[in-house]
Chains A and B, each alone.
Chain A
Amino acid sequence: MFRWMLSFAPLLLFMPTLAHAHGARIEYVANEAVVVTITATYDSGTPMRDAQVIIYTPSDPVNAWLTGMTDHAGVFQFVPDVTQAGQWEVVVRQAGHGGTVYVPISADQVSGAATVQAQGSSNPMSPMQTALMGASVVWGFVGTALYFSRRRTA
C-alpha cells in the first residue's frame, strides 16, 4: 500500500535581466512558475525511491507530457505549463505497484499578467462566432452602401 503526499511550492524563477548602460532602455522579463512537489511513500513511511513518474496534462490523458524518477527521498518536482489549466495527473509506479495524484492547476496560481489574461477571458463566444459576427457587421455596412449607391444611379 502506498500513501501519497502532495505539496505545492510556489517558487519565483526570475530570468536574468540584461542591462545596457549607454542610454539604452532597460527592461526585464520575470517568469513566475509554480513548482509542484510530489512525495511518494509507502504506508510505513518508507520513501518510494527511484520510482517511475509519468505526468499527463488535462487535455491529453494518453501521451505523457513528462516522465522521470523520484529521488532517494521519493520526491519529484516539476513545473507545469500553467496555460493548460485543469487536473494534471501524476502517476508514480514502482515494482508493479502505483498510484495517481491529481494536481489542480489554474491561472490563479500565477500572477504573470499574460498568463492570467490568457486563461481569464470572459468572452463567451468562440473564435468562429466572433469572426461570423464581425463579418455580419461588415456586410451590413456594405449592403447599406450598395443600396444607396444604386438608388443614386437609378
Chain B
Amino acid sequence: MITSRWVSAVLGVVLFLGACGGTPAAPDTPAPLAAPSPQPAPPSVGTLEVRANGEDFVREGFVTKDGWAIQFDHVYVTLTNLTAHQTNPPFDALSNSRLEAQVSVSLAGVHTVDLAEGDADAEPILIGTTPAPAGRYNALSWDMIKATSGAAQGAVLMLVGTASKDGTDLPFTIRLEQESSETCGDFIGDERKGILEDGGIAQLEATFHFDHLFGDGDAAPDDEINTGALGFEPFARLARNGRVDVDQEAIQAGFSAAELALLEELHLPHVGEGHCRTDARTAGR
C-alpha cells in the first residue's frame, strides 16, 4: 500500500509539474489567454527649470569696494549648451577631475538674458524648462558666448548702468567678450536645488557674482571679496565725455597689467554659492 501511495504521489507530482511546465496545448484546444507580460514601469520624469541670477547686487544695486554706488539698467549675458547632470562621484569644480555624468539633460538654444530684469524682489530669470528623468542633478554646465543679435550683440557679458560717487554720475556700458565654458558642481544656497522627483519641478541656477568684479563696499577692505576684486575705478578712469563706454579692446588698452591680470582671474559664474570651473571655450561643446 505504501508503495502504491508513493507511486501515486510521485506520479501526481510529475503530472503537476508537467502541467506547470507549459506542455503545448492540443491543436483543437482553445489556446489559453496569455498572461499579460509585465510592462516596464514608465520612467520617472519631471521638469527642470534652469534660471539665471545676478543676485541682489544686480537687482538692487550696491556700493563697490572703491566707493562707487552702482545701479544697473541691464546686465545681458548670453548662454548656450546649458546642461544639467547627475554625477557620481559629485563633481568638484576646484579639482582637476572630470565630470562623470550618469544622466545629462540639455536645454536647447542660445539664450541672452537680462539679469537686471524685474524689480528688487524679482525671481531669478527663467532661461527655460525641459523634461528630465527624476534624480538628483548635482552639476550644471554651460558655455558663455558672444550674442549674435540684439542689444548685447558681440558681447558675452554687457553691463549697462550708472555709477555715482562724490556727486558725480557716470553712465557706463561695459562689454566683456571673453567666451568660456563653465562646469559647476552642486548648487549651494539657502535651499537645496536640483532634486527632481517623479512629476515634480526642480530648479537649477546659473548665478553670477558681480561683487567678485567690483568688490563690496559693505565688506572690510581686507576681506577676501575685496582683495581679489577689481573695483569700478579702473573703468571710471576710461570715461570719455562723462560716460564709460568700453569693450574688450578698450579695456586691454586702458588697464594696467596688474588690473588685466586681476580681470583674467575673476570667476563670476557660480551655482548659488557653489563654484564653477572656467575653461577657454572649445568648439563643439
A→B interface (CB under 8 Å): 1-4, 42-44, 46, 61-62, 87, 89, 91, 93, 95-100, 102, 147-148, 151
Pick from B5, B209, B273: contact of A151, CB below 8 A.
B5
Shortest Cβ distance from A104 into B: residue: B89
Determine the distance from Cα of A4 to Cα of B195 in the docked complex, in whole angstroms. 24
**What residues on A are CB-neighbors of B94 within 8 Å?**
1-4, 99
Give how many A-B residue pairs fall within 8 Å (CB-CB): 57
Beyond A1-B228, A151-B8, 13 extra complex contacts between A and B, CB < 8 Å: A1-B275, A4-B94, A46-B224, A61-B136, A61-B192, A62-B192, A95-B225, A96-B55, A97-B273, A98-B189, A98-B274, A99-B273, A100-B185
Determine the distance from Cα of A42 to Cα of B223 in the docked complex, in whole angstroms. 10
Pick from A1, A61, A98: contact of B188, CB below 8 A.
A98
Determine the distance from Cα of A151 to Cα of B285 in the docked complex, in whole angstroms. 77
| Residue pair B90, A62 in contact (C-beta under 8 Å) | no
**What residues on A are CB-neighbors of B211 within 8 Å?**
96
Determine the distance from Cα of A13 to Cα of B250 in the docked complex, in whole angstroms. 64
- In which size bucket is the chain B interface? 20 to 34
Determine the distance from Cα of A83 to Cα of B232 in the docked complex, in whole angstroms. 53
- The 7 listed contacts between A and B (C-beta, < 8 Å) are A1-B275, A2-B94, A97-B273, A98-B188, A98-B189, A102-B90, A151-B5
Determine the distance from Cα of A97 to Cα of B273 in the docked complex, in whole angstroms. 5
- Does B9 interact with chain A (Cβ within 8 Å)? yes
**What residues on A are CB-neighbors of B186 within 8 Å?**
100
In order of increasing CB-CB distance, the 4 nearest A-B pairs are A98-B273, A98-B188, A42-B224, A97-B273
Determine the distance from Cα of A98 to Cα of B209 in the docked complex, in whole angstroms. 13
Determine the distance from Cα of A96 to Cα of B273 in the docked complex, in whole angstroms. 6
B→A interface (CB under 8 Å): 5, 8-9, 12, 55, 89-90, 94, 136, 185-186, 188-189, 192, 195, 209, 211, 219, 224-225, 227-228, 267, 272-275
| Residue pair B188, A93 in contact (C-beta under 8 Å) | yes
Q: In whole Å, how far is B61's beta carbon from the nearest beta carbon of chain A?
A: 16
Q: In whole Å, how far is B13's beta carbon from the nearest beta carbon of chain A?
A: 9
| Residue pair B274, A100 in contact (C-beta under 8 Å) | yes
**What residues on B are CB-neighbors of A3 within 8 Å?**
94
Shortest Cβ distance from B93 into A: residue: A99
**What residues on A are CB-neighbors of B189 within 8 Å?**
98
| Residue pair A91, B188 in contact (C-beta under 8 Å) | yes
Determine the distance from Cα of A15 to Cα of B195 in the docked complex, in whole angstroms. 40
Shortest Cβ distance from A42 into B: residue: B224
Determine the distance from Cα of A2 to Cα of B192 in the docked complex, in whole angstroms. 20
* Known interface pairs A87-B90, A93-B188; A99-B274 also in contact (CB < 8 Å): yes
| Residue pair A1, B267 in contact (C-beta under 8 Å) | yes
Shortest Cβ distance from A48 into B: residue: B224
Determine the distance from Cα of A98 to Cα of B272 in the docked complex, in whole angstroms. 9
Determine the distance from Cα of A62 to Cα of B192 in the docked complex, in whole angstroms. 6
| Residue pair A93, B90 in contact (C-beta under 8 Å) | no
Determine the distance from Cα of A3 to Cα of B93 in the docked complex, in whole angstroms. 11
**What residues on A are CB-neighbors of B209 within 8 Å?**
96
| Residue pair B224, A100 in contact (C-beta under 8 Å) | no
Shortest Cβ distance from B192 into A: residue: A62
**What residues on B are CB-neighbors of A151 within 8 Å?**
5, 8-9
